[in-house]
Structure 1
Amino acid sequence: MASMHQVMPGGSPPRSRGRARRVSHGELGTVALELFVERGFEETTMDDIADAAGVSRRTLFRYFPSKNDLPWGDFDGMLDRLRSHLARVPVDVPVREALRAAVIEFNSFPPETAHIHRERMRLLLHVPALRAHSALRYAAWQQVVADFVATRTPYDARALVPQAVAGACLGVCIAAYESWLDGGSASLGAVLGEAFDAFDDVLVEAAP
């Protein structure tokens, strides 16, 4: 995750003339998050974000097709990294352990950036427009998980079992995110680990 990009007080940084400066998904996403927190999601426009980032509107849309995409950062890149990570997991590692470790790793970040991640998750989980948009992102994330489960089972990735495991995994993650947003000193990784462990415990207790 890119480091916090500070918007200068009293106005937006001037746009550079000539060749457009190089930016990243992470930088643009962080600038947008800061504005969403300061002004509200609905009240912030793409022009506001482009001005604050010092880029053209055209450049911003090249990275993010819509305002709803901005809080997700480089989501496609994250999915590619998650897919590659799972593909490298040794075959003797159980599916549950592989998914638990992968989820925790991909939700790890330096403690000093926890506040920006909290704001990101608060937006994604609680802003109505973003919650509707999130369904597409969640479906793509679940498919990566289902594809991995299919490699360890005799089922096709679109079959019931891989899809059920992926859906359960997403549910555990969302519950952990909500708990983490409620506060406390535990890291997101620790809360996710606790959620996965609790889910396993409940399944064992409920078994006949």
Structure 2
Amino acid sequence: MNGPQKPRGRPHASSREQIAQHAFELFLERGFAATTIASIAKASGVSKTSFFRYYSSKSEIIWLAFDQHIDRLQTLLQQSDPGLPSLTAVRLAVLDALTRDTARDAVWRQRFVLFDSSPELRDEESAHWNAWAGVISAFLVLRTGCPVEHAVPPVVGGAVQSLVLAKLRSWLPLTDPARTLADWIDDDLRPLCEALQPWVDASCGTPRRAA
């Protein structure tokens, strides 16, 4: 009699998430560099071959969700109300993306703890956050009509990114469930965007409106 058939086709999301959860536990316990794919597979109860059905590399466990978060932010900005002030649209998209992704990603908090405790990930982390800021900069160029070479969009993108990252790092130790990440960030993101909006308007002119 044949044994149970192994599932084929697209990997189950739940299995992918379980592997990520076990991987982050090992990363935080042993360090990213010292954790092998074999040890992740063993802790997850899968073979190395099965591991590669879900992830192409150890690094993908770290960055896949972050890349998806950047894509989500870009989509939300593209779908934002053209009648909103540009930085109100930025603020709402940033908070929406963070709220959605922290709610669906069980290892979001561990991911940022790992970033700050793993020097070998710093360069990649910086590159990903630069890409995150670049999405905001590109949106401001399109929304305001600012020339691509103008300093304002990248400065604003960098300012928003720096604030969000600083607030994330200060949020990590919190244990009060009444304070969501979005609320925590918006305490300072709202006044930052309100302060920068007049500068954006004065420097880039009247925002473009949808036809």
Give the TM-score band, short-chain normalised.
0.7 to 0.9
- The total of aligned residue pairs comes to 189
- Secondary structure of the residue that 1:129 maps to in structure 2? helix
- Secondary structure of the residue that 1:44 maps to in structure 2? coil
Counterpart code for 2:108? H
In the alignment, structure 2 segments of 5+ residues that lack a partner are: 198-211
- Structure whose residues are more often helix by fraction: 2
**Equivalent residue for 1:98?**
89
Q: Please point out which of 182, 193, 197 is paired with 2:186.
A: 193
Deviates more, 1:31-40 or 1:175-184: 31-40
Counterpart code for 2:154? Q
Distance 1:78-1:63 versus aligned 2 partners, 3 A rule: farther
In the alignment, structure 1 segments of 5+ residues that lack a partner are: 1-15
Deviation of residue 43 (structure 1)? 2.6
Alignment of 1:55-66 (within 5 A): 55-57=46-48, 60-61=51-52, 64-66=55-57
Q: Please point out which of 121, 125, 139 is paired with 2:116.
A: 125
- Contact 2:87 2:193 (8 Å CA) reproduced: no
- Contact 1:145 1:166 (8 Å CA) reproduced: yes
Counterpart code for 2:90? L
Relative contact order higher in (CA < 8 Å, ≥ 6 apart): 2
Deviation of residue 203 (structure 1)? 6.5
Alignment of 1:175-190 (within 5 A): 175-185=166-176, 186-190=179-183
Counterpart code for 2:24? L
Counterpart code for 2:34? E
Deviation of residue 192 (structure 1)? 0.9
Distance 1:75-1:183 versus aligned 2 partners, 3 A rule: closer
Superimposed CA distance per residue, residues 69-114 of structure 1 (whole angstroms, 9 cap, x where no aligned partner):
3223433332222212111111111122111111111222699989
Distance 1:165-1:56 versus aligned 2 partners, 3 A rule: farther
**Equivalent residue for 1:10?**
none
How many angstroms apart in 2 are the aligned matches of 1:163 and 1:28? 36
How many angstroms apart in 2 are the aligned matches of 1:128 and 1:51? 25
- Secondary structure of the residue that 2:99 maps to in structure 1? coil
Deviation of residue 170 (structure 1)? 0.6
- Contact 1:46 1:67 (8 Å CA) reproduced: yes
Deviation of residue 41 (structure 1)? 2.5
How many angstroms apart in 2 are the aligned matches of 1:86 and 1:62? 32
How many angstroms apart in 2 are the aligned matches of 1:158 and 1:59? 47
Deviation of residue 44 (structure 1)? 1.4
Q: Please point out which of 135, 142, 152 is paired with 2:133.
A: 142
TM-score (norm 2): 0.72
RMSD of aligned residue pairs (Cα, Å): 3.2
Counterpart code for 2:63? W
**Equivalent residue for 2:25?**
34
**Equivalent residue for 1:107?**
98
Q: Please point out which of 19, 29, 41 is paired with 1:50.
A: 41
In our comparison, the structure showing a higher alpha carbon Rg is: 2
TM-score (norm 1): 0.73
- Secondary structure of the residue that 1:141 maps to in structure 2? helix
